[in-house]
Structures are given as C-alpha cells and as structure tokens.
Structure 1
C-alpha cells in the first residue's frame, strides 16, 4: 500500500523507530524522518508532516518544552502529537506536556492504527476548517480593500489596513481632531446641463466628472469624503497625517482645472453644453470620524475649516481656485510661495472677522518658489 500520511518521529534512540516501523509496515502511514528533539522544529519546517510521534522515553523536560513550542506555533498547532513509550510511567507527564494521545509499546496493532487514523482525521478536519476560515478572511479583507479604494487612494488604503492603530481609528467609533487641507470642487453650469439632457446623459457626464476628479485626488493621496450633486469634498492629511497637505491640495486642484477644461471641451462638442469647475481650499483643524446612525454610518470630516472651504468652493468662478490665508501661510511655512491674486476678504455669517482669500485664475501656471 502506498503511503498517504507522513509521520515525523522525534527520538534519540533506535528502539522506538524499529517498533514504529513494524506497526506501520504495509499501511498508508510512513516515517518521513527521524530527528532528535532539538532538531524537531527544523524537521517540521523542512516538510510539514501529518503527525508527530514523540518518544516519551526521551528527556521529559525537553519533551515538555518541545510540546509547548509546537502547540503555540501557528504553523504546527493543528498537527497531532502522539506520545509513545515502552511503559505507561510517562503517560500523565506526556499529556501534561501537550500530546493529543499516548500509547505504549504493549498496545495492539489494530488499536494503534485506529487511534492514529482518528487523530489524522481530526487534524485534517481542523486544517480544512482553518484553511476555509483563512480563505474567508482573505476574501473579506479584499472586499474591504476594494471598497476602501473607492474613496481612499490604494496606497493610503493599504497603510490603514496594515496598521491596527489606523484601522481602529477609521472603523471605530472614536472621533479625532487633526490638521487637514480641505477642498471643494464644484461644477458650474450643472443646472442648465441637467435641464437640456436626458437623465441617462446627465448620469454619464457626472460619472465622467467624478471619475476624473477622483483619479486626480488619488494621485496626490487624498481622500474623497463626499460626492453630492455636482460637488466633491476631498481631504488631505486625514485619515493619514500629511505634513504637506496644503501643497497636495493646491497641486491636485490645479491639475483638476487643467484636465476638466479638456473634458468640458468634449462635452461642448458632444452635447453643446457649457460647464466649468470652481475650487475652494482651506487648511485647519477638522473633526474626523464616523457620523450617522446605528443603521448607517459615514466616515467624514466636519468643522469650521470644512465650512470655509465649502464657501470658497461656492464662490470660485469657473476655472478659478480660491484658497484662504491659512493655506498661504501653510505653504510659506514649508518655504513655498505661489503667485496668487489677493481678493477682497470673505465675510462669513457668524464669524467676527473676515477671511483673507487668494485666487489662482484659469490658465495661470502654478510654480512653487522658495519663499
């Protein structure tokens, strides 16, 4: 009969091997290797056996230590351990050490084979269950990663999933205060566009619009927090800290304006519609966390910084990028400066003082210069 199951014998003497070979001769079990106790782990690593047979007549302390290691190692925890000895003196000590079963040389061959095969069946079932659980966990993680990458750049998604601290922050119920750059990108002319085209065409254009802006956001490792109507809210520096969030936001905004102008030209030729893109950016403290109800939650950012960025986005004309003095100061702190036009201060309801704002008009290059 050809061997189906491989046994690793851990023994320092030859008597145990001779006895075992006689009992398994002509069966579907074969001795894969015989190693002394101190080399048992190396033997398992070389080629994992189906069962480990331990010579319980060997040094008891070494056997106990070896069983402890095998039963705590994820790679060997499901392998069945059989203690084998000339007499039953070591029976209790062997079980206490961690063996799954114990037999003496006086056991009948039929009983030996039945008990060994029972251990092998149980072990195979455990490994199958573990493999299925692992496969399910991999599928679950891939599903989370795929869903994650819909609004977070793949690089950030992988960093969050690889970090227990970031995962707890993102998926848990905690809210954190962080420094972030917030951008609102709003389409101009959407109302007229939606009135002229049929619903299917409007949805098609919106998908093109958001696909373009999302792709650019991810190029600069930003996070998409909201798609509402014809507006996109993006954050830089949250949920993963970025010291250069303001710079990333400005660079992403400029590329959005450039590439959207090409898209708008195609729409004009295809549908005879006029559209544009206005962008507002602000930097400051935001509250990040899951907001909603027990049945529906949304990871988002809120706070005065977000409100100001939203107002700037609403005020920006087609082809314009407006940003606050906080963005300008953040760039200057990094030793950077861009040529921007100073506009009249923005007065917000509920604020005691106006906000200085700046504009980078359509067609103007952005060159970061040492400040």
Structure 2
C-alpha cells in the first residue's frame, strides 16, 4: 500500500491541469514498477496505489517481490519528488506499507460491475503500516511476516507496533535503503538496550539523536524515551 504525502493539500494550490499531469506521471511510474515485479494492481484511490502478489498466479517468492517492489517504488517516488521540487512544485514523500498474509481474492461488486481485488485483515494491516510511517518518520514500514519470508533483505527494526484497530503488536522493520541511518551498529545496540528496558537506552538514543539529526526514526525513539523519563504517556 502506498500513499503520496500532502497531495490533497496540493490540489488547492495548483491548477487542475498541473495536478493532472503530476499525478498521472507519478501513477504511471508506480504502476510500471509494480508490473516489472509481476505484481497485480489491486486498485488506485486518488494518489494511493495498492498492489498484491501471488494472485492470480501463485508466486513462491511473493514476499521478496513485494519487498523489492516497495524499494523500487521508493526510489522512483523520491527521484520524482525531487524533480518536481526543483521545478517549484512542493511534492511530498511517498509512504509505503508492506505486509504478508492470507486474503480473499476474487471478483467483487455486484451484478452491474465486478472488480478483481483482495479483501481481508492483511490488507488493513498493510494500510496501517503505510499510515504509521508519518509518526515514525520512515517512508517504508515492512511487517515481520514479510521479512520472515524474504531471502534477501537489509533492514533495521522499528519496533513492535500496536496498529490502529489492532489488539496485538506486530513487528515492523525499515529497509536500510530507504532510511537516513548513520551508524547502524550504534542504532542496533541502542535498540537492544531499549528492548531490555535498560536505563542506558535513553543516553544511547540521546547521543544518536545528536550525531544523526536527519535520522527521523532515531529522533522518534529519542523523543519517546525522553517522554517516558518525564512521565509522559504514549
């Protein structure tokens, strides 16, 4: 699941012809990448794109395809946004959520119109992972279920997240290729201390935040830990 940050607000600032060209070129690039990875376009809602894998043709490596597709989409979206910003158009970043699970696949819609699509809780989870990027400061958030089925990934842990509407936490990861990570070992050590609820975690993340001011995930964890130290609830 992907979504273009701030596009609704953009529609109020630019002429329809400009918006149409920007959106169509953006969607064209995103859809081409989905097809290059043998993904199936589930639907387009405004600027949001939903892509599914392993349907209608079963793909043994569907999780890896989804992960690789997300990275390729991120590279395109960042380059396209930079191109638009250079032209004076304040295009936002694209947020992407990736999840793996069993869904219901088929034609839905009724007697007048049928739409081939996927339905089920994993679709909602992918959507929630896309949305939570805005809080974490990440661009791509991938579930542990997807990572476990991939043969080649390079990620760092985000945390165990209780997504909106969910009861249980889900492990989430950020691809390093889409991050602003500086010292990965330092991050992993600090993250481990945080998981162990060590008092050293606050100091560790505070140091990381100073050395990597552009790493928004580090800033998120640091702010959260500082909030805890002041007794602020999450």
Displacement after TM superposition at 1:351 (Å): 3.4
CA deviations 1:127-161 (Å, max 9, x no partner) are: xxxxxxxxxxxxxxxxxxxxxxxxxxxxxxxxxxx
SS at match of 2:87: helix
**Other structure's SS at 1:356 match:** strand
TM-score norm. by structure 1 comes to 0.46
Counterpart secondary structure, 2:167: coil
1:288 aligns with 2:105: yes
Q: How far has the Cα of 1:278 moved from its partner?
A: 1.0
Question: Are residues 1:343 and 2:162 paired?
Answer: no
Per-residue deviation at 1:338? 2.3
What is the alpha-carbon distance in structure 2 between the residues aligned to residue 353 and residue 319 of structure 1? 21
Aligned to 1:189: 6
Match of 2:147 in 1: 328
Give CA-to-partner distance per residue, 1:86-139, whole Å, 9 cap, x none: xxxxxxxxxxxxxxxxxxxxxxxxxxxxxxxxxxxxxxxxxxxxxxxxxxxxxx
The change in CA–CA distance for 1:312 and 1:224 in structure 2 (over 3 A counts) is same
- Distance in 1 (CA, whole Å) between partners of 2:165 and 2:70 is 28
Distance 1:319 1:232 in 2: 18
Q: Which has more strand, going by share of residues?
A: 1
Tell me the distance in 1 between the aligned counterparts of 2:33 and 2:164: 32
Which of structures 1 and 2 has the larger relative contact order (alpha carbons within 8 angstroms, sep 6+)?
A: 2
Alignment of 1:230-245 (within 5 A): 230-245=47-62
Count, aligned residues = 178
1:264 aligned residue:
81
Q: Structure 1 CA distance, aligned partners of 2:31 and 2:138?
A: 18
CA drift of 1:296 comes to 1.3
1:357 partnered with 2:172: yes
In the alignment, which of 42, 45, 48 is matched to residue 225 of structure 1?
Answer: 42
Q: What CA distance in whole angstroms lies between the structure 2 residues aligned with 1:258 and 1:193? A: 22
Shift of 1:261: 1.4
Question: Does the CA contact (< 8 Å) of 1:341 and 1:358 recur in 2?
Answer: yes
1:303 deviates by: 0.2
Query: Which digits, 9 at most, give the CA deviation of each residue in 1:189-229, with x for residues without a partner?
Result: 21232121111211111101110000001111100011001
- Distance in structure 2 (CA, Å) of the matches to 1:321 and 1:303: 21
Using the alignment, how far apart are the partners of 2:95 and 2:167 within structure 1? 26
SS in 2 for 1:225: strand
How far did residue 349 of structure 1 move?
4.6
Aligned partners of 1:257 and 1:319 also within 8 Å? no
Question: 1:272-328 deviations in whole A, cap 9, x for unaligned?
Answer: 313111110000101001111211111110001111001111122476211111001
Whether the aligned pair in 1 keeps the contact of 2:93 and 2:139 (CA below 8 Å) is no
Gaps of 5+ in 2: 182-234
Q: How does 1:29-178 map to 2 (within 5 A)?
A: none
Residues 276, 319 of structure 1: 8 Å contact kept: no
Distance 1:268 1:351, change over 3 A: closer
Q: Unaligned regions of 5+ residues in structure 1, if any?
A: 1-183, 366-371
CA shift in 2, pair 1:248/1:211, >3 Å: same
- Tell me: CA distance 1:264–1:304, structure 2 relative to 1, closer, same or farther (3 Å): same
